[in-house]
Amino acid sequence: MTTFRPPLTKEDIRGVIPPLVSTFAADGTLDLALFRGELAFMEAAGVTLAVIGGSTGSGDELSADELAALIGEATRSGKIDIIAGIITTTTRDAILRGQKAKEAGARALMLGPPIYTTPSADGLDGFIRDVYEATGLPIIYYNHFFNPPSVMQRIADVPGVICLKEVALEPVAELFQTVGERVAIAAGADCVNIASFLFGAHASISGINTVIPKQYREIYAAHEAGDYRLGRELTEKIAPLAREMIKPENFPARVKYAINLQGREVGAPRKPSGDLAQQDQENIKAALRFAGLIA
């Protein structure tokens, strides 16, 4: 039975928030048994809030019904609260995905800008506002088109926005200083999360959190304790892996390869992703060994 809880607030966006992978069978259909295994791993690692359908979760490859199915699988246990990733092209489809995600138990939406198009400022603001009004779910706006802080500051005032996710490190400080009292600031700078927290980020939402959630929770704990020497040491240990994960080529395959090597079976990505180059495989193995995660 799906457990429904009230929408998230900006105060709920804290700590390490993994964007979960979507698990597929060999024929490309959803494999919910594999997904249940990954959910169990995340619960055991202490994860209480996660994204389904983000970039790491192949959100642009999922149908609205598939997104809802994954969310429903997660919310039936009620142990991890879910933010639904909305990656699409039109307002109409974003609303459909958001409504189905809400029905499945999502507590917020992580909404990126329309893919393959660049709307005007009014068009982008209207896109965010329309999705919020149609779904009633709060919005985490994901700046994956590298809009400057001035655009993000404007978006912070759009009704329904509770968080800005910034993928670059330097703007995190400016956003925290200028709009951090109105919205939460989430960082997506995988290699330098400890620096993002120091600059004021309230949370981290990045693919590396999914690969090694326990290690990134330890980095966040070091930040909360004010032990930045420990935080730096922990970061240096996993930095080579983080650098491998953020390379854009064959991104879903990179993440799943690193997870599978650690003994968590999450399947392969949907084609045409996959067929990771031999050099990439060796680099990821070496990074996992450096971090002490595989023999």
Which residues does 69 contact at the CB level (< 8 Å), separation at least 6?
A: 30, 32, 104
Whether 74 has a pLDDT exceeding 90, the answer reads yes
Higher-confidence residue of 129 and 169: namely: 129
Catalytic residues: 142, 165
Mean pLDDT within 64-83:
94
* Per-residue pLDDT, 2: 61
- pLDDT per position as a tens digit, 14-25: 999 999 999 999
Strand pairing category for 15-16 and 108-111? unpaired
Q: In the chain, where are the structural domains located?
A: 10-229
* Per-residue pLDDT, 189: 73
Confidence of residue 281 (pLDDT cuts 50, 70, 90): very high
| φ, ψ for residue 162, nearest 5 deg | -115, -10
| 219 annotated as ligand-binding | no
- pLDDT per position as a tens digit, 181-223: 999 999 987 677 888 999 999 999 999 999 999 999 999 999 9
Higher-confidence residue of 179 and 170: namely: 179
CATH 1.10.3720.10 for the 10-229 domain, yes or no: no
Of the candidates 217, 221, 175, 5, the residue with the CA atom closest to the CA atom of residue 105 = 5
* Per-residue pLDDT, 5: 86
| 205 annotated as ligand-binding | yes
